[in-house]
Amino acid sequence: MTQASISDPAVAAHSAPPDANRGFRLPTHWLGVAPFFIFALMFLILPTLYLVVGAFQNNEGQFTLDNITQLFRDASIRDAYRASIKISFWSAILGALAGLAIAIAIVRGGLPGWVRSATMTFSGVASNFAGVPLAFAYLATLGRLGLVTVLLRDVFDINIYAMGFNFLTTWGLVAVYLFFQIPLMVVIITPAIDGLKREWGEAAATLGATQVQYWRMVVIPVLWPSFLGTVILLFANSFGAIATAYAFAGPSLNIVPIKLYAQIRGDVLHNPHLGYALAFGMIFITGLANIFYIWFRTRSERWLK
């Protein structure tokens, strides 16, 4: 009596039922990410499309470019964009440089391990600390009767407000934004510094390179894409910030997020579609910044793998 082998096509076909007999199966493996896609569609994609379409329409629903061109013709809107870009640029540059120095110190500075843990924990919290709490913290510290202001005045005879310091100026707002820009830089750039391989330094030392040459010819070129990408991300983060600036100055400060907020609440531009165009300009700038960030991050990951 011969035994049937499982390699026999007839037996294999009998033991393995065809796909047609399996019936319909629900794609249950998508259930975990379904809430994310629904949330993104309802609160990000559809509202963005609504704003973009509205920016190119007039009150009668007809296609027009007047709303976009008015962004360049209206002096108040031009000044708002100019002020927002200036604040975002300087807060991103200064925050990136300070955050990079802190990240290098805690990763490669030979400090105790608890210093890095404490710094990363604080940075994770401070990078999301904004709005009214941040405004109150700064007023309690550097306000006209703030702790640091009084100490400087009474102990060191330095009156920062007599010297022209003011939160409601461009540089005053940059100083406030640095509180969450620096920690965000620390959180983002630390993994890139961790990716610097110890073998690179050993190889450079073996070849006779000094520390300056090693940093100039190895470290800086490797970290440069990550640094630029993070600067762009900090720019976008600052450009869209409104809660902190509004808590300090209310509607009196002429930056794009506050102007858009005032338009949403009271139609101060007397044209809702011009408000859509104002939002479209913000979406375009922040979207372009994020595209460059992704591009630079991809280049840096190629080196750090």
- Which residue numbers in the chain have pLDDT < 50? 1-2, 4-6, 11-13, 20
pLDDT at 262: 78
Residue with tokens 């579609």: 273
How far the first Cα of the chain sits from its last, in Å, is: 60
DSSP state of 63: B
CA distance 108 to 94: 21
What is the three-state SS of 163-208? CCCCCCCHHHHHHHHHHHHHHHHHHHHHHHHHCCCHHHHHHHHHCC
pLDDT at 113: 85
- pTM of this prediction exceeds 0.85: no
pLDDT at 23: 59
CA distance 225 to 304: 11
pLDDT at 1: 46
pLDDT at 118: 93
pLDDT at 91: 94
CA distance 163 to 167: 13
Token couple for 19: 């796909």
pLDDT 10s digits, 31-55 = 888 899 999 999 989 998 998 999 9
Q: Confirm if 196 and 219 have CB atoms less than 8 A apart.
A: yes
pLDDT at 260: 84
Q: How far is CA 229 from CA 221, 236, 286, 294, in A?
A: 13, 11, 13, 7
CB-based burial label for 119 (10 Å; 0-12, 13-18, 19+): buried
Ranges of each domain in the chain:
76-304
Q: For 152-168, b where at least 16 C-beta lie within 10 A, e where not — what string?
A: ebeeeeeeeeeeeeebe
- Helix and strand element counts for the chain (H, E): 15, 0
pLDDT 10s digits, 164-205 = 777 777 788 888 899 999 999 999 999 889 888 888 888 888
Q: 76-304 architecture in CATH?
A: Orthogonal Bundle (1.10)
pLDDT at 53: 92
CA dihedral 84, 67, 56, 37 (to 10 degrees): 20
Nearest by Cα to 103 from 119, 79, 89, 87: 119
